[in-house]
Chains A and B, each alone.
Chain A
Amino acid sequence: MEASKVIHAIYTDDDVLMSAVKTVKAEKHHIEEIYTPFPVHGLDKAMGLAPTRIAIASFMYGCVGLAVAIVMMNFIMIKDWPQDIGGKPSFSYLENMPAFVPIMFELTVFFAAHLMVITFYLRSRMWPFKKAENPDPRTTDDHFLMEIAVHGNESELTSLLKETGAVEINIVDKDEDAH
């Protein structure tokens, strides 16, 4: 299959990488992946990636946490055993609410934060014994790597990438098991 061959263009500077991404996008080639040692500001915009929705997820998790706190304390403190503890009014949830606010707040934050982190791990497929998907170990240090699928247009792509300032261009068979 054609698509199992990819071209790896390696850059040593993030500014060069950014302009290369723009050129490649302008030529309407599909960029499979870019590996960088650190976040390059604006790279996602240049690649045209969709914005993340993790903040929305977090907001909803926070609402769940708030609901859990309210239901839990309403049941324990008001419904199940409305004991008089130091004169606090346990007749209704609202009457005793100020005392519950610290817990409501903390549980909201707890749910929002932890569930969002777990969502992040799931969506980006990260876990402790995961095999690293790294095509070139230098990309974790000081090199940037752009991966483009080859559809029988090898020479054209190679010359285009050369022009954009790539220091090294490799055509490799893609290992499908890496994912």
Chain B
Amino acid sequence: MIVLGVLGVGYGFMDANSVTEENISDVIAAEHHGGHGDDALTTEAHGDEHAEEAQGESHGESASHAEESHGDDAHGGMTEHEEHALHQIHNRPYSALYVAAFFFFMIALGVLAFYAIQYAAQAGWSPVLFRVMEGITSYVLPGGLIVLAIAFVADSHLFIWLREGTTTVGHENYDALVAGKSGWLNKTGFFIRGLIFLGGWSLYRHFSRKFSIAQDNADDNRNFKKNFRISAAFLVFYIYTESMMSWDWIMSVDPHWFSTLFGWYVFASMFVSGITVIAMITIYLKSKNLLEFVNDSHIHDLAKFMFGISIFWTYLWFSQFMLIWYSNIPEEVTYFVTRIEDYKLPFFGMLAMNFIFPLLLLMNSDYKRINWFVIMAGIVILCGHYVDVFNWIMPATVGPRWSIGIPEIGSILLFGGLFLLIVFWSLGKESLLAKGNPFIKESEHFHY
């Protein structure tokens, strides 16, 4: 998977860079006529999307042109439109990598939050799943570093506020709105904050894993108590940093737009994908007879969480969408205008995948105990949340030139493979039963 992924990502970069200042006019012409030339770009995009793209451009582009302050003069003999299109084409492989890297990182972080909640709430049902959760959270540190590294390399390909001259008065890229935010949105601050967030999360993960393993052979509950205390502290730290992380890593791709409940919304997305992955990996390990102590009731509980948090996600998604749609203030509504015009299918498709599908599938109490049902619902939920991340990043970076092609699938394979490698490597290191946990007896006999 990783090899395939690397090939796909490499192809994506080559493909994007094959479009340069010299041939950009031809590419755009080909796009508009829906032609299937030899051009690398057209071989990849599907025929029917050309029609959409051609339509979308007249709306979407004029809107985003107005937003981004291009200089009056065209550069290097390109028209303004060509330059804009070239940026979008070049941004695509970066965004594809970033979306996939963030998606898998967010799963691990969601699991970490779930794990801390189980400790802080002294849940009696979940201790048998702790080792599975610890395995998944081993991806938090490498995954987070990868996200930051991609952000560092991609620079202004992803974050338009990193373009040269955005904050310099009189420069052709000068943007007064972004300049006003430069106290928060600057490269040094971004990475210092990113490292603090990541440092805090992985410190918690490191110590909680350490105490959890130490508890296995301990003759008292000291390690468990320590874990309880650091989990409570971590949750406070997490909810602040997660919110700021979502401003930095996600919301700042649209630096002109802001929303107050965005942090919660990102949290709901990561939480539900994390729980889904716990359920799927648990079912997989159980099918290999590695988790005899996990019974149907544990799966049932996880499926209830998947169901409940899916609806919580929808609630936040809708609250954000409806408030902005209702008041229709131009400066914030552009966010949804571009998404509905250029991303109709992913935007509303994810609503079906993340809400209607789990709502109807996981409502029945008996279905929540059927393993293949939970796996099927889990696959749809995960795809839905990938599309969710896709909808956060892509409209700001590639605009109407999106597609789910080789760069995107390659990135998913690359990070999916890496995720599975790290998670299962970590799962193999310790016994899968946290046997010293004071709640483990209750959890083994958990019955709902």
Contacts and interface: CB of A to CB of B under 8 A. Distances in A.
A93 interface: no
Dominant SS among interface residues on chain A? helix
A128 interface: no
A98 interface: yes
B20 interface: no
Interface in A53-72: 55, 59
B325 interface: yes
Contacts of B152: none
Contacts of B326: 98-99
Contacts of A98: 318, 321-322, 325-326
Given A87-B328, A98-B326, A55 B365 contact: yes
Nearest to A98: B322
B195 interface: no
A31 interface: no
Interface in A137-153: none
Interface residues on B, range: under 10
A43 B365 CA distance: 20
Interface in B254-307: none
A96 to B, nearest CB: 10
Contacts of A16: none
A55 B364 CA distance: 9
Contacts of A99: 322, 326
Interface string A77-117: 00000000001000000000011010000000000000000
B363 interface: yes
A19 to B, nearest CB: 19
Contacts of B363: 59
Nearest to B363: A59
A101 B326 CA distance: 12
A99 B325 CA distance: 9
Interface in B380-395: none
Nearest to A56: B364
Given A55-B365, A59-B363, A101 B328 contact: no
A73 to B, nearest CB: 15
A101 B365 contact: no
A101 B322 CA distance: 9
A171 to B, nearest CB: 38
A90 to B, nearest CB: 14
Interface string B5-41: 0000000000000000000000000000000000000
B292 to A, nearest CB: 24
Contacts of A87: 328
A98 B363 CA distance: 24
A87 B321 CA distance: 17
Nearest to A42: B447
Question: Of A55, A98, A99, which is in contact with the most chain B CB atoms at under 10 Å from its CB?
Answer: A98
B315 to A, nearest CB: 9
Interface string A155-178: 000000000000000000000000
A101 B321 CA distance: 12
Contacts of A59: 363
B308 to A, nearest CB: 15
Contacts of A101: 318, 322
A80 B187 CA distance: 56
A51 to B, nearest CB: 10
A99 B324 CA distance: 11
B319 to A, nearest CB: 10
A97 to B, nearest CB: 10
A98 B325 CA distance: 8
A98 B318 CA distance: 8
Interface in B304-345: 318, 321-322, 325-326, 328
B447 to A, nearest CB: 10
A101 B325 CA distance: 13
Contacts of A55: 365
Contacts of B321: 98
A99 B321 CA distance: 11
A142 to B, nearest CB: 27
Nearest to A102: B322
Nearest to B322: A98
A59 B363 CA distance: 10
Nearest to A88: B326
A12 to B, nearest CB: 26
A55 B365 CA distance: 10
Interface in B119-169: none
A99 B327 CA distance: 11
A101 B318 CA distance: 9
Contacts of B318: 98, 101
A104 B365 CA distance: 24
Nearest to B318: A101
Contacts of B328: 87
A170 B217 CA distance: 56
Contacts of B365: 55
Given A59-B363, A98-B321, A98-B326, 9 more contacts: A55-B365, A87-B328, A98-B318, A98-B322, A98-B325, A99-B322, A99-B326, A101-B318, A101-B322
Interface of B: 318, 321-322, 325-326, 328, 363, 365
12 contacts: A55-B365, A59-B363, A87-B328, A98-B318, A98-B321, A98-B322, A98-B325, A98-B326, A99-B322, A99-B326, A101-B318, A101-B322
The 10 closest A-B pairs by CB, nearest first: A98-B322, A98-B325, A99-B326, A101-B318, A101-B322, A98-B326, A98-B321, A59-B363, A87-B328, A55-B365
